Chains A and B, each alone.
Chain A
Amino acid sequence: EDKVVQSPLSLVVHEGDTVTLNCSYEVTNFRSLLWYKQEKKAPTFLFMLTSSGIEKKSGRLSSILDKKELFSILNITATQTGDSAIYLCAGGANNAGNMLTFGGGTRLMVKP
């Protein structure tokens, strides 16, 4: 059975801190690793990673994938209160259904 595990479950930091969120995966016919940010409503897409060792960056967020260790991290530097959310990691399968297996999420709270 496919499995995605995220750690930590929750994290409380102060504005300006740097955080690292972890994601390990076991996905049959793995194709990609995705990060989503979930605030009150829809999960919004952050990154998709398909190759090991290539860092993807978007502003203060960056992510990298290790396909040998089946692991990904999401870094957020200089955190702001607007970064407070649940961060979801999902493993994407290379199958007809294009299925995503989600982890349980990391709840990040950034205090002023």
Chain B
Amino acid sequence: EPEVTQTPSHQVTQMGQEVILRCVPISNHLYFYWYRQILGQKVEFLVSFYNNEISEKSEIFDDQFSVERPDGSNFTLKIRSTKLEDSAMYFCASSSFSGANVLTFGAGSRLTVL
């Protein structure tokens, strides 16, 4: 069954460092998303991306965050200068079309900021 793959599975970084989380969405999907889950809290929407541009973003997704689809297969989330509160599990997801909200999620990248 097609799946969304994410790397790394776990990253530890120092506060203030830049991190890039990578995702390979399902190949025929056109819509891409990042969600995050702080330990013990709800899964929260960060950003959605379609046709090489952001279609929606939450208040969490401030200037420290950016997304990019650098080639035909990867979708990345960059955090420019990490803070302690950025520690969370980051989930990438994709969907085939926006007419239904069915997202397929990756296994997540756990980010720990020290």
A42 engages B4 (CB within 8 Å) = yes
The answer to the question of A61 belonging to the interface, with a C-beta cut-off of 8 Å to chain B, is: no
Question: Which chain B residue lies CB-closest to A34?
Answer: B101
Residues of A within 8 A of B56 (CB): 95-99
Q: Which residues, 34 to 73 on A, are CB-close (under 8 Å) to B? A: 34, 36, 41-45, 48
Question: Which chain B residue lies CB-closest to A45?
Answer: B102
> What is the interface residue range for chain B against chain A?
20 to 34
- Once bound together, how far apart are the Cα atoms of A103 and B3, in whole Å? 24
Residues of B within 8 A of A84 (CB): none
Question: Which chain B residue lies CB-closest to A47?
Answer: B102
A100 engages B4 (CB within 8 Å) = no
Question: Which chain A residue lies CB-closest to B40?
Answer: A104
Residues of B within 8 A of A44 (CB): 105
A98 engages B31 (CB within 8 Å) = yes
- Once bound together, how far apart are the Cα atoms of A43 and B43, in whole Å? 10
The answer to the question of B18 belonging to the interface, with a C-beta cut-off of 8 Å to chain A, is: no
The answer to the question of B87 belonging to the interface, with a C-beta cut-off of 8 Å to chain A, is: no
Given A95-B56, A98-B95, A31 and B101 contact (CB-CB distance below 8 Å): yes
The answer to the question of B45 belonging to the interface, with a C-beta cut-off of 8 Å to chain A, is: yes
B107 engages A41 (CB within 8 Å) = yes
A104 engages B91 (CB within 8 Å) = no
Residues of A within 8 A of B3 (CB): 42
Q: Closest CB of chain A to B105's CB: distance in Å?
A: 4
The answer to the question of A25 belonging to the interface, with a C-beta cut-off of 8 Å to chain B, is: no
Contact string, B22-60, partner A, CB cutoff 8 A, digits 1/0?
Answer: 000000000101010000011111011010000111100
Chain A positions within 8 Å of B, measured between CB atoms, are 31-32, 34, 36, 41-45, 48, 88, 90, 92-93, 95-105
